Amino acid sequence: MAAKGNGTSSAHFVLLGFSQQGNVQVVLFVVFLVIYVITLLGNVGLLVLIQLVAQLHTPMYFFLSSLSFLDLCYSSCITPRLLWDLLDEEKVISHAACLTQFYFYVAFATTECYLLAAMAYDRYVAICSPLLYSLSMSRGLCVLLVASSCLAGVTNATVHTGLALGLSFCGPNVIDHFYCEGPPLFALSCTDPAPNELGMFVMVGFNLAATMLAILLSYAFILAAILGPRSAAGKRKAFSTCASHLAVVVLSYGSFMAMYSRRSSRSSRLQDKVASVFYTVVTPMLNPFIYGLRNQEVKAGLWRLIGEERFC
């Protein structure tokens, strides 16, 4: 389906997705549907558990509930459209819908990076200044950190989407991806996408560098406190709460950097899609299980809630 005219108002795109693997479309649909259902159940369950168990009303779990809500939004931005296109032969998406998906994808991805940095700072304060933890990580500061993460995501998405609105699409309209991601979309433009590519390179580089630096500095101070001569056993025990956060950071940043660390080419498009699937579909499913299965407080809260329900 070709775009009409030289403008973008009537342009439509075709999301190629996984159509090249035509004989396994149904299998992929079932797999992604199961992943999406597990993502919804896991993150909603964790949100409800944190809300109902008073012992989990701490700054760490406030950030964790924010991450779960973000994962719900992030997954719902990508997966339903992916499921629809696996069953739809045309796989057509309008220009407006494509840019809307692009906007929310960038906003949620950027917000998650800054939220993970805020969670690293929370662990730093909890381990290095445990006596001042409740005072330092006040409710107001936690809300401010989450709101700042959201503001960074909205700002980044607004810049990229604003630049994308200036592009014209009058030629090929097939996006070799399963969602509207920047580089495959820019490649279809009839106008020079250099400002968009430069903007994405600069903004992605800055956001990754800033958040990774915050995370690395936080854990450097944490390790210094744990390994220092005056370190207490309580600090070493508190360090175990960092394992879940580190696992989420490695999953998120590892797959994200795999997408943006190299230029896309014909030979690497399948690898790009696999990395994108892992980052946008699989990671939101794994996050609540990483925190739930590795965190004794979450498991204790779950059993306490189950015991109260049985008693009632």
Question: With pLDDT > 70 as the criterion, what percentage of the chain qualifies?
Answer: 83
Whether 6 has a pLDDT exceeding 50, the answer reads: no
Confidence of residue 41 (pLDDT cuts 50, 70, 90): very high
φ/ψ of residue 94, rounded to 5:
-70, 165
12-311: what fold? Rhopdopsin 7-helix transmembrane proteins (1.20.1070)
Tens-digit pLDDT profile for residues 87-106: 888 889 999 999 999 999 99
pLDDT at position 7 is: 44
Confidence of residue 262 (pLDDT cuts 50, 70, 90): low
Predicted TM-score of the model (pTM): 0.87
Angstrom distance (rounded) from CA 194 to CA 202:
12
Confidence of residue 8 (pLDDT cuts 50, 70, 90): very low
Among 7-11, 135-139, 246-250, whose mean pLDDT is lowest?
7-11
Indicate the average pLDDT of the chain. Answer: 83
Whether 304 has a pLDDT exceeding 80, the answer reads: no
Rg (CA), the chain: 21
pLDDT at position 163 is: 92
pLDDT at position 161 is: 95
Whether 129 has a pLDDT exceeding 90, the answer reads: no
Whether 221 has a pLDDT exceeding 80, the answer reads: yes
Whether 1 has a pLDDT exceeding 60, the answer reads: no
Among 133-142, 236-245, 249-258, whose mean pLDDT is lowest?
236-245
**What are the structural domain ranges in the chain?**
12-311
